[in-house]
Structure 1
């Protein structure tokens, strides 16, 4: 295969949870630019529809679905609707997630459960439902979205529940990769560092010192640009990574090397 063929996703079908905005939107657009048709699954259906329209403007097909990834029923409906529309699922990206800053000693049980339910249980439910279909076809690439927070404890913000959820996503990824490799289903994870999404930019207005500290602790001296996740995403989704499974692709500007 040529390099262009290796990275091509021509007529592949992808589901991206949390695909309406932020990193999910960038990955959805990246997949479409590489040739894939994309299902945008998100709680925010209006924004999902706008992202789907952007994908259609690229000449690809897209379907926007309102999905709560913590609901097994809604996740299974997402799979069913995707199959009804496209007949197959080649790629899954589990980008739906939430973050929260809470001191561990003050954290409520509800806060703990919510972050774990969305970030970890939601990832599992989506992988399980889509994975069953991929196993039937003996073909598929699953990309979970973890975080460098699954590898290190961030500072100065307190977020033990978030870190625990992302560490769980990394181990879930490795476990699924080991179980499903015999079905030709690859499972990898992208672990972003600090990314300058609109949500993060708004949050930092209230915590200006955090931005300074984060940049000082990052060898590249800056936050990541959201569009920089497109390359790792297309690589792991495509035949270019055909011998890669169970891997953690860290894109953090070097944060975890110190």
Structure 2
């Protein structure tokens, strides 16, 4: 986008795991890697890439991210088999008492990539069934 001076939008995928610790799952490396995206890098990229530079016309790139909550993925389902009761624990820990399906994030990503969010940059959209709101 910079090379061709094209405006646009980038949607990164972080995780609510960058904001909290997951009960029953020891994952400090994963959590810290997601925290980097949802906190420091996101803001820095938005600050650097969003303004349109007068000297060469580059920039105009909005940078946002989505932080999903617990999603029913093969990795998560495998963890449930290894740790009895973890599924029930995770379901109780959000306000909706269920886990997300992978398809529940498409529209949010589309919103962040579209002109509907034209004045949005540096934002972390947390979609976690209310988990981090407790």
TM-score normalised by length of structure 1: 0.47
Say whether residues 1:169 and 2:45 are aligned partners: no
State the secondary structure of the residue aligned to 1:187: strand
User: In structure 2, what is the Cα distance between the partners aligned to 1:152 and 1:214?
Assistant: 13
* Cross-structure match for 1:92: none
What is the CA distance between 1:206 and its match in structure 2?
A: 2.1
How many Å apart are 1:158 and its aligned residue?
1.2
1:189 aligns with 2:65: yes
Counterpart of 1:178 (choices 47, 59, 66) is 47
Instruction: Please list, as runs of the form range in 1=range in 2, the aligned pairs for 1:1-258 lying within 5 A after superposition.
Output: 133-134=1-2, 136-170=4-38, 171-182=40-51, 183-258=59-134
Provide the C-alpha distance between the structure 2 equivalents of 1:245 and 1:237, rounded to a whole number of angstroms: 11
CA RMSD of aligned residues (A): 1.3
| CA deviation vs aligned residue, 1:218-249 (integer Å, no higher than 9, x gap) | 11000001100101110001111101100000
Unaligned runs of 5+ in 1: 1-132
The unaligned stretches of length 5 or more in structure 2 are 52-58
> Quick check: which one's helix share is greater?
1
3-state secondary structure, aligned to 1:141 = strand
When normalised by structure 2's length, the TM-score is 0.88
How many Å apart are 1:172 and its aligned residue? 0.6
